Structure 1
């Protein structure tokens, strides 16, 4: 089993990004649940395979979806970039922009068009 445990400094940075609603989650379990999310993506294991130390797998899975839908991970990434920029540790030469690929319909393979259609 891959051990996932945040340092106190890491948690101090991450914790404020995680929303606490009126009816949960219990703040003392947030760190445990966040570590469960990290475990899931670090190991590639299934939610149901999650060790009990992170709490019930269904709860951690639901929490992940709530955080994803609330934009927590995007905000956390932006916060990390801003923190690195404050320290002068952002190297824009490493920035990459990904493009979207649009697949052609399978009928488009080998299709022959008249010259007047191509010029139009």
Structure 2
């Protein structure tokens, strides 16, 4: 795990909030894809410079782009904020 990757406790909170995988696609390590997206956003590096430990940059970028277009990223933020508000 890279130093900026999600720790297990944070992943346990995020995982149930993620959308269901697209049928017909092989299951990919979503945690690695999300960590790859977070790495790219944190560093500002080009997608093509994504470290190989996160998978092919095209796959990570594809998930990022798909979730941006279908509104998944803002929905995740809303759900995480609602969870935090409920916890006080």
* TM-score band, normalised by shorter chain: 0.7 to 0.9
Instruction: Report the Cα distance in structure 2 between the residues aligned to 1:25 and 1:76, rounded to whole angstroms.
Output: 23
Q: Secondary structure at the match of 2:15?
A: helix
Aligned to 2:36: 36
Q: How many residue pairs get matched? A: 86
TM-score, structure 2 as length reference: 0.86
Highest CA radius of gyration, 1 or 2?
1
**Gaps in structure 1 of 5+ consecutive residues:** 89-120
Aligned-residue CA RMSD (Å): 1.6
Distance 1:25 1:64 in 2: 17
Higher helix share: 2
Instruction: Confirm or deny that 1:84 pairs with 2:81.
Output: no
Which residue in the other structure is 2:73 paired with? Answer: 73
- Between 8-17 and 47-56, report the one with greater CA deviation: 8-17
* Moved beyond 2 Å, runs of 4+: none
| Correspondences of 1:15-26 after superposition (within 5 Å) | 15-16=15-16, 17-24=18-25, 26=27
1:10 Cα deviation from its structure 2 partner: 1.2
